[in-house]
Amino acid sequence: MVKITPFKAVRPQRAKAGLVASRPYGEYNEAEMRARLDYNPYSFLHILNPGYKFQQTISGTQKFQLIKNRYLEFKEENTFVQDENPCFYIYKMETRDLSCCGIIAAASAEDYKNGIIKKHEETIASRESLFKDYVKTVGFNTEPVLLTYEDQPEIQEILAKIMQQNPEYEFATRQREMHYLWKVDSKAEIEQIQQFFSKMESIYIADGHHRSASSFLLSQESAKNNEHHTGKESYNHFLSYFIPENHLKIYQFRRLITDLNDYSKEDFLIKLDEHFRIENRKLDAYKPEQKHHFKMYLDGEFYSLYLRKTSMHFTDTLSQLDCQILYDLVLKPILGINDLRNDKRISYIPGKNDILEMKNLIDNGEFAIGFGMLPVSISEIKKIADEGLTMPPKSTYIEPKLRSGLTIYEF
């Protein structure tokens, strides 16, 4: 039984929504960030980058408190207002590559604890604790966890009916995206949506494992410190975007390594030959066409790697993943990359980026070799979660990436 809960979102005034909304913080380079901060006083980036006001870089707990201060200023200036009644919010996003529509609502920390909300990635305790302290200090969350479920036509029919009305927000971006938001405040429609979700046995985290884990930690800590805890407090839930799995776009992460672990190019290729059939593609940027086929770029040339049948020793769903195969047969035993999270010799770039990005980084000498593969499928993600397994870090780059600042959940 999946619980989905309406909440009173803090939102920008209709006329300012497009100005407030920002892309995920990490997507901006320094020049873009400076331009937004210099010329758009309503950008949510002013909240996330409070040091701009003082023309200095601020970090740690001091930054958390200043983020809270900037947020309160936006509320005091009525850039943000809060809905009077708990609502669901239908969010639709259209890009050149993606069209998605789902429900922004509060997910249950108890569902996370009980495994109804299923995960497929490991989290790092230090990051969980840091984000928990961040949310506790600032008192709000604006980045929804991406939760996905098998397509339910009945839910989509309800949403389609609501979306016949004029949206609360409708705006375009410089990236040629269209964003729409509808408010669902009808008790009958809210209950109808809740009933459909209550029939689901489980739901899956597509993106946001650390946010989920941190929110759960905060709920546990807050409940322990509240002698009047009832289970209905806002800290018992976390901001989420509930989206059908067929609305997701899943990409790979390419792996780039700084060196060949003291192997010569020739010796490295001989080591690879034990497990892969290798073809030199020269300058032809080979694109893998099926599972267990890999792209490699080394010394100015592309290669295709085909896993040999004699090396297909699979014991579970995890061992069949291409990102796991690459780790088990190449990154760890040959290149000496044991810790995929913390080894500074390995970096990752989203597979949606042009292959020239990987090529240029290697040609410029920043890295020695790069690998690509087909993306993990949603069925593989679900199997990993159902079997209680976890994927290697950076196994998936999943869209949509929602704009920040449109629906804020306060604790």
Q: Encode pLDDT of 255-283 as tens digits.
A: 999 999 999 999 999 999 999 999 999 99
pLDDT at 58: 86
Given a contact cutoff of 8 angstroms between Cβ atoms, the answer to whether 311 and 328 are in contact is no
Model confidence over 279-320: pLDDT tens digits? 999 999 999 999 999 999 999 999 999 999 999 989 999 999
* Average per-residue pLDDT for the chain: 95
In whole angstroms, what is the distance from residue 119 CA to residue 376 CA? Answer: 15
pLDDT at 341: 85
- Domain residue ranges in the chain: 4-250+399-410, 253-374
pLDDT at 122: 84
E strands, 210-273, in order: 237-244, 249-251, 253-257
The CA angle 246-356-93, to the nearest 5 degrees, is: 30
Rg (CA), the chain: 23
Q: Is the dihedral of CA 320, 325, 327, 333 positive or negative?
A: positive
Angstrom CA distances, 149 to 41, 88, 114, 349, 402, stand at 38, 17, 17, 27, 18
DSSP letter at 199? T
pLDDT of residue 249 exceeding 90:
yes
pLDDT at 205: 98
| Stretch (H or E) spanning 105 | strand 99-108
Structure tokens at 94: 């259209």
| Residues whose CB falls within 8 Å of the CB of residue 31, separated by 6 or more in sequence, listed in order | none
pLDDT at 119: 95
DSSP letter at 328? I
CATH class of this structure's domain 253-374: alpha beta
pLDDT of residue 59 exceeding 90:
no
Beta bridge partners of 345: none
Helix, strand, coil in percent for the chain, rounding step 5: 35, 25, 35
- What pTM value is reported for the model? 0.93
Read off the pLDDT of each residue in 118-127 and give the average, rounded to a whole number. 90
Q: Exposed/middle/buried for 18, CB within 10 Å: 0-12, 13-18, 19+?
A: middle
